[in-house]
Amino acid sequence: MKLLLVTVFSVISPFSVQSAAPPAAHELPWTVMEGQMPEIISANDRSETYGQFETLNGVSLEDQKAELLARMGEPSAIQEDPYLGCDEFNFDDVQVGICEDTGTIQYVHVKGSHDHWSLNGTVIPMQMDAIHQALGQPHYIAEDGEVYLRGQYAIKVYMKPGSGEVEGIDLFDDTAS
């Protein structure tokens, strides 16, 4: 019996040779970090510069026809868009597709023959390296160009095949079918 008591005592004794148990979490020192939130970047947003596409050469997809004409004046020409069946209003530095039944802007287009274009009021040279620097990597690469997405809006940069030269840039609603 004495041997059993000595064995039990040595196991629970503070003088035993067993290592001490690690401290509980509430016994460890804590450091409080105030005002620091981790940065959360959406997987869909690959650009640090543009969180949303709002305007292309000063025209928003949210503008109405009357608003556009009041700001831009009369177009130099109006022609039918063969793909949408809507009217395309041609201004000096931008073409705007507007469907008469809704009066809403379907797309905004800038020709590649211009030296630069404007996105959300920021002027960008009409060159692919400048576009990549401004928009990051494209979400899709098609035979005729590159597509960039931000929220519900998209920008497509049309390129001449095999050259990398910009033919034009469109802003459109990616959710519209």
Strands across the sheet with 87-90, in order? 77-80, 87-90, 95-99, 104-111, 166-173, 153-159, 145-150, 140-142
pLDDT for the residue 49: 62
> Rounded distance, CA 74 to CA 169, Å?
22
How many Å from the N-terminal Cα to the C-terminal Cα in the chain? 88
pLDDT for the residue 51: 81
pLDDT for the residue 23: 52
What tens digit of pLDDT does each residue of 38-49 get? 433 333 444 446
Residues of the chain with pLDDT under 50: 1-20, 25-26, 28, 30-48
pLDDT for the residue 38: 40
Phi/psi of residue 64, nearest 5 degrees: -100, 160
